[in-house]
Amino acid sequence: MTALMGTKIERKTINKNKNCDWLIVGAGYTGLSAARKLGQLNSDKKIIIIDAQLAGEGASGRNSGYLVDTTLNDGFTSNKEISTYKNKTDIYKLGIDTVKKFIEEYQVDCDWNECGKYFGSSTIKDKYILENFSETLSNLGFDHKLLLKNELYKKLGTNFYNCALYTKGGILIHPGKLVRSMIDTLPDNVQLFENSELLRWKNNNNNIYCDFKKAEIVTKNIIFCANGFLKSLGIKENYNFPLTLTASMTRPLTDSEFKSIGEPLEWGVLPVKPLGATIRMTKDRRILIRNTAEVLDQFKMKENDLKNRAKIQAIGIEKRFPNLPKNIINFTWSGIVCRSRNSSQIFDKIENNIFAAGCYNGSGIGVGTLFGEQIAIKASNGKSKEIDLIERRKKPSWLPPQPFLNIGIKTRLFYERFKATAEI
């Protein structure tokens, strides 16, 4: 998504030794929000933010743009666990509020559209899942509605979906525009270094020594905001793991193609089955689809593998829009997300001078922005009602070591993919 936008001019890389008061690792929503807040709270301190790639080129510039108020695929939909689910949605709400405040304060245009979202399935049997979910949403006061095939066809321009739950509270945004605005509004006392991968770090006598390819940074404090790479940096290793997702986007539909599907307004559908496709009709009439998830550790997927994933996405589009031409995808990309076993997030003071925030289980636009700001407040010895709420969440649960972890994840993904075959 950031690839669709112009390039930022000046880029700096770590090639000389440096000292600082604060080092932030990772320049996505979390790291950039932490840097902004830390810079505001500590105007006299030297703050550095680094990223192994270009800032915003991680998942933050590569996601589907659903700023969610509710999620379905996290196992917390039963009434029995309603207090856990409420805590989760309270955090989502704070996330939305934080992004909204940011874009209002800095006059950011990120194609903000309060159009709600759909949880949809082509399998009518899945209606019972939506009815159960509806009960939870009613108990918590979320405005929503169950829709069936004909109504969905009118809204979405596809008759693929047989049932869906529409929730009014979801917002669609342009993720690349949002992260770019966070880069452009970094305070003056924050220095950004890109293409600077942190290779190793160690904490010794209250100084943290950080090795890069060509130089070292010695910092008094550090905040890890590397999300899908937290585990590889040794942060909460037994509580999170990375997953690689891929997505594709078509060229804008022509007037006649758009007419042929009924000229729908912008919409977003999330799957009822966890590994089904998320699919969006964007404001500029592009179709965006994400329908793969797998275990891979590199920053970006190899070109050939990406081409193969694009074929899966082309099939997903064809299933939903059989009358559109076949070769209309013009971007395919991969991105890495961070997951925990129980879908809970990381927000921690690990040692006196070491902090970490991340692991949003695929819903990090709002929560990442919120956690970034709040971890900066916590690290500055501040307090807030947001921190109190975040700290009431369940903590991520323990995961087995390798190779058992990857065997377990791959088996689970295989099973979920099989269950979602029709929805991919």
The binder of ligand FAD chosen from 20, 23, 27, 35 (CB under 6 A): 27
Rg (CA), the chain: 21
Residue 328 engages ligand FAD in binding (rule: CB under 6 A)? no
Q: Which of 62, 127, 231, 341 binds ligand FAD (CB under 6 A)?
A: 62
- C-alpha distances out from residue 196 to 31, 216, 231, 282, Å: 14, 11, 18, 33
- Going by the DSSP 8-state scheme, the letter that residue 50 receives in this structure is E
Cα separation, 122 vs 274, in Å, equals 14
Question: Based on CB atoms, which residue is closest to ligand FAD, 127 or 170?
Answer: 170
In the list 13, 21, 45, 53, the residue contacting ligand FAD (rule: CB under 6 A) is: 53
Name the residue nearer to ligand FAD (CB basis): 127 or 210.
210
DSSP string for 127-153:
HHHHHHHHHHHHHTT--EEEEEHHHHH
Interface segment toward ligand FAD; rule CB under 6 A; list 52-60, 83-91, 203-211, 388-396:
52-60
Residues 363-382 that bind ligand FAD (CB under 6 A): 363-365, 368
Tell me, by CB under 6 A, how many residues bind ligand FAD.
Answer: 41
Handedness of CA 422, 365, 197, 204 (dihedral sign): negative
**Distance from C-alpha of 32 to C-alpha of 58, rounded to nearest angstrom:** 12
Nearer to ligand FAD, 296 or 387 (CB): 296
Q: 69 exposed, middle or buried (CB, 10 Å; 0-12, 13-18, 19+)?
A: buried
- The residue whose two tokens read 């109504």 is 151
- Residue 134 or 240: the one with the smaller Cβ distance to ligand FAD is 240
Q: Considering the complex, what minimum distance in angstroms separates the CB of residue 95 from ligand FAD?
A: 8
A 10 A CB-CB count for 186 gives 18
The region of 339-347, 361-369, 382-390, 400-408 touching ligand FAD under the rule CB under 6 A is 361-369
Closest separation in Å from C-beta 356 to ligand FAD: 10
Region of 46-54, 113-121, 346-354, 387-395 interacting with ligand FAD (CB under 6 A): 46-54
Cα dist from 330 to 1, 10, 238, 326, whole Å:
12, 28, 38, 12
Stretch that binds ligand FAD, among 25-33, 110-118, 147-155, 307-315 (CB under 6 A): 25-33
With respect to ligand FAD, which residue has the nearer C-beta, 130 or 337?
A: 337
Chain position whose Cβ is nearest to ligand FAD: 364
Sequence-distant (≥ 6) Cβ neighbours of residue 404 within 8 angstroms:
none
Residue 392 has what DSSP assignment? T
- Of 14, 47, 48, 59, the one binding ligand FAD (CB under 6 A) is 59
Window 259 to 318, contacts with ligand FAD (CB under 6 A): 290
- 108, 163, 223, 226: which one binds ligand FAD (CB under 6 A): 226
Distance between CA atoms of residues 77 and 84, nearest Å: 9
Query: What SS3 class is residue 424?
Result: coil
> Which residues, in sequence order, are CB contacts of 338 under 8 Å at separation 6+?
227, 228, 230, 231, 240, 241, 242, 243, 346, 358, 359, 360, 361
Q: Which residues bind ligand FAD (CB under 6 A)?
A: 25-31, 50-53, 57-60, 62-66, 68, 197-198, 225-229, 233, 245, 247, 290, 335, 337, 358, 360, 362-365, 368
